[in-house]
């Protein structure tokens, strides 16, 4: 059995869903270029390109960068990857972006990581940080020796504003509102594969298996 297809995939998952972990594993096991919209944009900003100059003011205020700008940037990147496999992360984020992408590229699969919101909230809200060093603890999964104190300096730990339960809930709600129509659009095309679970280790073998049906992994890895 030989498979010659390219892997043209999109990964979708809420903040705290383990999307970064899964993407890293995909890149390790499959010959695919990972394009993260946030990383791409930050690079443009840093290099002060026309895209970067335009995008910066939206990013600075947490707003979405306009569709035309995002499309210009991604179409430009994808053109350079004509006979490569890719994994898009953070793009498309609006239906307009999805429609334009779908019209110009063959998409094989949209991976949707479905982690219950309660699990994500528990994961993030238990997180405490030592501001001086950036050391991160979790009250359940990685507790400090003394509660709310840094192991090394003994200084107090703080909870970042965006890790507080109310903020996390708001971010997740925002994500749901924004992403739902994009998923619906791809779902109508029969492209969405859902992966449900509470841990990356549990989800990963299923992702691996689904992608292996499209392209051959770099080296043979067996998961069951």
Q: Catalytic residue positions?
A: 19, 93, 127, 160, 171
Measure the CA angle with vertex 92, ends 194 and 20; round to 5°.
Answer: 60
3: Cβ–Cβ under 8 A, 6 or more apart, which residues?
Answer: 214, 215, 216
- Partner in contact with 59, chosen from Mg ion, ligand ATP, none, beta carbon below 5 to 8 Å by kind: ligand ATP
Question: Considering only residues 2-41, where is the footprint of Mg ion by CB under 5 A?
Answer: 38
Report the nearest approach of ligand ATP to the CB of residue 36 (Å): 7
**CB-nearer residue toward ligand ATP: 93 or 215:** 93
In sequence order, the β-bridge partners of residue 34 are 87
As a dihedral over the C-alpha atoms of residue 128, residue 27, residue 193, residue 123, rounded to 10 degrees, the angle is -10
Q: Binding residue per annotation — 90?
A: yes
Residues contacting 30, CB < 8 A, separation 6+: 7, 85, 211, 215, 217, 218
Binding region for ligand ATP (CB under 6 A): 15, 37-38, 41, 58-59, 62-65, 70, 90-93, 97
- The minimum distance between CB 56 and ligand ATP, in angstroms, equals 9
- Taking the complex as a whole, the smallest distance from the CB of residue 92 to Mg ion amounts, in Å, to 16
Provide the annotated binding site for AMP: 37, 42, 63-65, 90-93, 97, 160, 171
């Amino acid at each position: 059995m030989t498979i010659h297809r390219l892997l043209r995939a999109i990964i979708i998952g809420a903040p705290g869903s383990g999307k970064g972990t899964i993407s890293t594993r995909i890149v390790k096991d499959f010959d695919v270029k990972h394009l993260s919209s946030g990383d791409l944009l930050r690079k443009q900003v840093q290099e002060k390109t026309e895209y970067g100059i335009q995008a910066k003011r939206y990013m600075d205020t947490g707003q979405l960068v306009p569709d035309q700008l995002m499309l210009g940037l991604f179409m430009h990147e994808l053109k350079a990857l004509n006979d490569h496999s890719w994994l898009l992360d953070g793009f498309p984020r609006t239906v307009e972006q999805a429609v334009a992408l779908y019209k110009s590229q063959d998409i094989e699969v949209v991976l949707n990581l479905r982690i219950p919101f309660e699990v994500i909230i528990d994961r993030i809200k238990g997180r405490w940080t030592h501001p001086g060093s950036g050391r991160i603890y979790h009250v359940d999964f990685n507790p400090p020796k003394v509660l709310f104190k840094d192991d090394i300096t003994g200084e107090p730990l703080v909870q970042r504003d965006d890790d507080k339960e109310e903020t996390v809930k708001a971010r997740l709600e925002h994500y749901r509102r924004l992403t739902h129509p994009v998923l619906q659009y791809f779902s109508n095309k029969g492209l969405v594969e859902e992966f449900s679970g509470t841990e990356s280790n549990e989800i990963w073998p299923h992702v691996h298996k689904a992608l292996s049906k499209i392209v051959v992994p770099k080296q043979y890895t067996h998961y069951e």
